[in-house]
Amino acid sequence: MTFVAFSMQAAKRSRERPELKLDSVNLEVLRAGERWIGEGHRVLLVTVVKTWGSSPRPEGSMLAVRDDGVVAGSVSGGCIEDDLIERVRRSGIEAHRPQAVRYGISADEAHRFGLPCGGTIELVLEPLDDASGLAALRCHVEAGELVARTLDMASGTARLSPARSTEGVFFDGQRFVTIHGPRYRLLVIGAGQLSRYLCQIATGLDYHVTVCDPRTEYTDVWDVPGTTLVRTMPDDTVLDMRLDERSAVIALTHDPKLDDLALMEALRTPAFYVGALGSRRNNAARRERLKAFDLSDAELARLHGPAGIYIGSRTPPEIAISILAQLTAAKNGVSLPTILQVEGAKAAREIAASAGSLCFA
């Protein structure tokens, strides 16, 4: 597919798709940069290329700095942003070609810019103009597509092409390649009230969200922007999506006919997170039912149920936050102690309450 056809298709899909209620941080940066350029401002796009040591923002994070110091996005905890704003306010945006800069090479700079001692962050500073292609890039991202942007450091020109989820930031001093769009997929089983809140937040976390529910009483009123709704049986949907290590599944219907078969198939995939809503008793019963499907102990151990971390959540928005916090930890490779998970925390609370009662017996 040619670049022109690629861009025209993305623009068409973007016009047809409702605007997202919650945007990823980088999409907000793209929109701000495009808007400022249209208003006649000069804009500097700052992108994280590489970090050494711990860093508050990952590679590919973006910041747009307007010629008067107004910013959108972030590339650090705030100190590097402050330095860039001061530079722009003092000298303006004079450069016409991209350049790479490093912060925090020395211990003094690391302390000044809020980096760990010896930590380093490398950035690409790119002056933007009408030829930077931000509008086309935004169209692709809004259309839910994964796109690579290749910046030629010598000329400052950029081109777009389709990307794969396994690709990442690449920089060799001459070419700078960044990946934009949803790189992780989330399949939500059920289109009820809780799913609405969970999906709204998940789109802001930059997931490509698919909602599966064959029940017309729920799907006929589903209207959450930025999500894909399918009405097939959930287990068929799991198979059709060919879930990989960048996929997650959350079952929220409370209906074993829908949840169990989907979970059975999902637990056999490389999906990084598979969770199910429900009480501890219901989840224990679910595990017994899943054993009948010849799932191994290792596969059953991958099921997060009850899904979520314990924050005392009661309302649908609070439960959505609880589940997505656990999902985010799994995505980032963080192993949560049992006491933070719903089942472990509630069990510990009951033990503590029982011990307290014995003390007064």
Query: What are the residue ranges spanned by the domains of the chain?
Result: 14-180, 184-345
Note the pTM of the prediction, 2 decimals. 0.70
Mean pLDDT of 223-234: 93
* Rounded CA separation 49/172 (Å): 10
pLDDT for residue 358 is more than 50? no
Mean pLDDT of 67-94: 89
pLDDT at 4: 42
Percent of the chain with pLDDT over 70: 84
User: Residues 147-196: pLDDT tens digits?
Assistant: 999 999 999 999 999 998 778 899 999 999 999 988 799 999 999 999 99
User: Residues 109-160: pLDDT tens digits?
Assistant: 666 666 655 568 899 999 998 888 999 999 998 887 889 999 999 999 999 9
Strands 158-162 and 43-52: unpaired
Query: 339 pLDDT band (50/70/90 cuts)?
Result: confident
* Rounded CA separation 25/331 (Å): 18
* Rounded CA separation 27/29 (Å): 5
pLDDT at 131: 81
pLDDT for residue 347 is more than 80? no
Burial of 69 (0-12, 13-18, 19+ CB in 10 A): middle
DSSP assignment of 77-128, as one string?
Answer: SSHHHHHHHHHHHHH-S--SS-EEEEE--SHHHHHHTTPPTT-EEEEEEEEE
Neighbour order of strands in the sheet with 273-276:
227-230, 207-212, 184-189, 247-251, 273-276, 303-304
pLDDT at 11: 42
User: Do the Cβ atoms of 295 and 268 come closer than 8 Å?
Assistant: yes
Strands 170-171 and 147-152: unpaired
* Rounded CA separation 55/71 (Å): 20
pLDDT for residue 10 is more than 80? no
DSSP assignment of 312-358, as one string?
Answer: ---SHHHHHHHHHHHHHHHHTT----GGGBHHHHHHHHHHHHHHHHH
- The arrangement of secondary structure in 184-345, i.e. its CATH architecture, is 3-Layer(aba) Sandwich (3.40)
Query: 338 pLDDT band (50/70/90 cuts)?
Result: confident
pLDDT at 57: 76
**Mean pLDDT rounded to a whole number for the chain:** 85
| CA nearest to 188, candidates 320, 315, 22, 291 | 320
